[in-house]
Amino acid sequence: MIVTYPFSAVVGLDDLKLALVLNAVSPRAGGVLVRGEKGTAKSTIVRALAAQLPAVNVVPGCRFACDPAAPDAGCPDGPHEPGSQGLRRPAALVELPVGASEDRLVGSLDVERALTEGVKAFEPGLLAAAHRGVLYVDEVNLLHDHLVDLLLDAAALGTCYVERESVSVRHAARFLLVGTMNPEEGELRPQLLDRFGLTVEVKASRNPEERAEVVRRRLAFDADPGAFAGRWAAEETALASRIAQARARVPGVRLPDARLRQIATVCAAFEVDGLRADLVTASTAIAHAAWQGRDVVTTEDVRAAARLSLPHRRRRDPFDAPGLDEALLDELLARTSGEDPDDPDGGGPDISGPGGPEGSPTSAGDGPPPPGGPEGGPEGGPDGGGPEGREASPGVEGTTSSAVDDGAVPEQGGGPGKEAAGRVAGVAAPYRVPLLEVPGVGEGAAGRRSRSRTPHGRATGSRRPAGRVRDLHVTATVLAAAPHQLRRGRRGPGLVLREDDLREVVREGREGNLVLFVVDASGSMAARKRMTAVKTAVLSLLLDAYQRRDKVGLVTFRGRDAAVALPPTSSVEAGAARLRSLPTGGRTPLAAGLARAAEVLRVERLRDPARRPLLVLVTDGRATAGGDVDRAAALLEGTAAVVVDCESGPVRLGLAVRLAARLRARLVPLDSLADLGSVVRDHRKAV
């Protein structure tokens, strides 16, 4: 239940409650995306919200929850007579699982009946079930992009369109969309992130008393759920009543031109892309005014709306964390409304509701620091944001730390502590890199790197289905059935089909791969300018992996051994953070790095056998410690690989060239990586 949770125990839950309530008041707010670490009650509060929504009247027997007072003229179960007797039921809470198919989301057509009988036999999906209720997507960042696109299109239009082989079905789909995600498991794509109206960042409190209160209430619920619910019934009823009253007040709320100009000024000052931010902020400000019982939008309403609608729209780099400078927001609002920016009344609104918990709103941008921030490094060393690892501008010297000799750094004392300390080079701005792909055709998760047989892509042929037909190839089916029509006794319209006539489409698209970076961080790579170039190259490849929907992992080797700096994950941001704080120094245990990479790939094949790996080895080819390189390379036989040759200078030993030959890998010189990316980009533009 939404009022039972001690909101102070989780930083940002007051904002989350406000965002959910405002969407319940006015779905025009555009849905809520909840970002936060695991175990912060994201799912609990979302599920609790559904119980607070007003009950709805539906046409009896309608699978699309039509309102009897104003039924959908295009309802597939219609037509319905306006004003007919309705059935009252609670608003639906529908959960979309991460592994759902497109048919499960939007509905499916019985194509066989459409071909043989000429009728539309439509089975509605989850979008129809969620109409006039809540559609909840847990781990929305792990949902396939095409499903997120369909979901957000339906949420924006209020209508679901299903197109299957020249048969079209449309039905209303207006719902409150809520998605939750843990950023550690990967970010949502920027173009999809922008489609969520509001976003909230939550994280657990470190206050023992507040954490204890959460446990105390959970134990009380487990001991006697009925008594616990009864204890809070009055507050829950009051909150539901206030939501219903605010929803009825929304059409009468006025947005003055002064407040509209204020919204436009704030959005322009924060340099958000497009106009969706302005529209969402305006709709949310209207909902907030209605929630507060006002008939006119005020500066307070604009501030509350901007804090929820702008943070996720300010990202300029895929590795940036969402956030909002609230001091700048207050200054802009004061400048456009004539208020004092230091006015204590300019703070966040009271969202407690009747009988609800009190709490000071916190910034929606109070999330974890962006990669390269003070806490971004796994080894506690300085990173791209610190003085030792200050980011370098391309082609500008003197922006990184002092250089060391380009050679192996001798170990002193042999102690692991001294060797682990290392030094940290800066990172310059990433650049475009060429496409590195796995040869052949795979069957992995949808992405943008290597060729693959996927449910989405261009049709390349047909085949007999192994089970239920999901994507009928009409032409191939007709051709298979046509020679048998006379023998089967066809006399009228429509084909006489048998099960063995059915053919499904074979499609070829692109898949995402596991890109495992194996980076030489030894003393031979430790020269400041050189290691900055190496880190920048790997960061550029990480950015490319992000755009191509890959999983990434990071193995580094230096001193006596190799380490898994980042286990395979969908969070490319985590890889960037580890890379920025990567220390260098010591000997070069190349064999250990290859062996550790082989072990990581072996384990990952067991976990995700359909995802093909791509090994990206960044080294100059030297091996001054730790084992037989040939034997370690043999462990990677059959793995698609790329060797980025970091050797530089007028005299080159060609060690990386020989290593690439052992691995049967593509060789890419480090100093030409950016140039190759430019050539590929220019070629694509010309084509």
Catalytic residues: 276
Q: Round to whole Å and give the CA distance between 207 and 402.
A: 42
How far, in Å, are 13, 36, 204 from residue 366 at the CA level? Answer: 12, 10, 11
Angle between helices 299-309 and 326-337 (to 10 degrees): 150
d(CA 135, CA 158) in angstroms, rounded, equals: 13
Q: Which residues contact 307 (CB under 8 A, 6 or more apart)?
A: 15, 324, 326, 329, 348, 361, 363, 364
Q: Is 589 exposed, middle or buried (0-12, 13-18, 19+ CB in 10 A)?
A: buried
* Angle made by CA atoms 245, 247, 253, in degrees to the nearest 5: 100
Through-space distance between the first and last CA atoms of the chain, rounded to whole angstroms: 58
Nearest residue to 269 (alpha-carbon basis) of 320, 319, 330 = 330
β-pair partners for 159? 172
Q: In the block, which residue shows the tokens 């969620």?
A: 130
Tell the burial category of 251 from Cβ atoms under 10 Å away from its Cβ (0-12, 13-18, 19+).
Answer: exposed
d(CA 124, CA 122): 6
CA distances from 347 to 117, 287, 302, 303, 314 (A): 64, 18, 12, 8, 21
Locate 69 and state its tokens: 């007072």
Q: Would you say the C-alpha torsion 72, 73, 74, 75 has a positive or negative sign?
A: positive
